[in-house]
Amino acid sequence: MKVVEWVLEDKSKFTLLPIPSPTFVGGVLVFLETMEKLTISDNTIIAQVCKGDKEKYSGIIKRYEKKLLRYATYLLQDEHDSKDVVQESFIKAYISLNGFNNKKSFSSWIYRIVHNEAINLLKKHKKKISLDEDYKLESGENLEENFVKKSLQEQTKNCVLQMPIIYREPISLFYLEDKKYEEISDILKIPTNTVATRINRAKGILKQICQKNKIL
């Protein structure tokens, strides 16, 4: 049997020894158990950092840096400002780690920090934060999932950036960051039913903007 070398996203490598199982099913189970051990949860890493292993925090940064930068860019529409916001958020999160409730989701917590930093920067620069606009939506409009996915592809990202921030936030978190309604509720500090309402309305707004720009 071959020795399997598993390369992770950060280019680090793990060598998996041959699985000593006479059956395919048994081998798969052992393989899955092995991979599960290699996947360390956010909260486990945070606990290690809080105990003094500060270098482990770099693993958190690698895990979230690209995702948070993408999210911040959708909010701020400026890559330089977004980088500053993400960097500041990582610093604030690190300083506040001892106050983090390890029973909660670290992912929601760090996204919330980025959200707050981004909104504060918008207010500081006195940029116009459009909370809503007079978009005419058909009654009971229900956008199909394949349209939403198409609308969030690279060539239509500009449409998302033209949406009022109140809708740009939840739709970005839901479709781009793959967050559930409960997580979005925790990040934005709004009820889950409000999350659902804003996402549904955002779909219609997104469709109108893309059609207006003759992208769809």
Q: Confirm if 40 and 34 have CB atoms less than 8 A apart.
A: no
> Given this model, what pLDDT does residue 152 score?
54
For 17, residues 6+ apart whose C-beta sits below 8 A from its C-beta are 3
Q: What is the pLDDT of residues 81-105, one digit of tens each?
A: 999 999 999 999 999 998 998 888 9
- Supply the pLDDT for residue 19: 39
| pLDDT per position as a tens digit, 116-151 | 999 899 888 765 454 444 444 443 344 445 445 555
Q: How confident is the model at residue 32 (pLDDT cuts 50, 70, 90)?
A: very low
SS3 category, 14: strand
- Round to the nearest angstrom and report the end-to-end CA distance of the chain: 52
Give per-residue pLDDT as tens, 171-197: 889 888 889 999 999 999 999 999 999
Give the torsion sign (CA, 68, 113, 74, 176): positive
Between CA 64 and CA 90 the distance in angstroms is 10
User: Which two three-digit tokens encode residue 200?
Assistant: 């549904």
Task: Give SS3 for 17.
Answer: coil
Q: Around Cβ 126, how many Cβ atoms within 10 Å?
A: 7
Q: What is the pLDDT of residues 35-54, one digit of tens each?
A: 444 578 999 999 999 999 99
Q: Characterize 28-50 residue by residue with b for buried, 16 or more Cβ atoms within 10 angstroms of its Cβ, and e for exposed.
A: eeeeeeeeeeeeeebbebbebbe
The beta-carbon contacts of 51-54 under 8 Å, at least 24 apart in sequence, are none
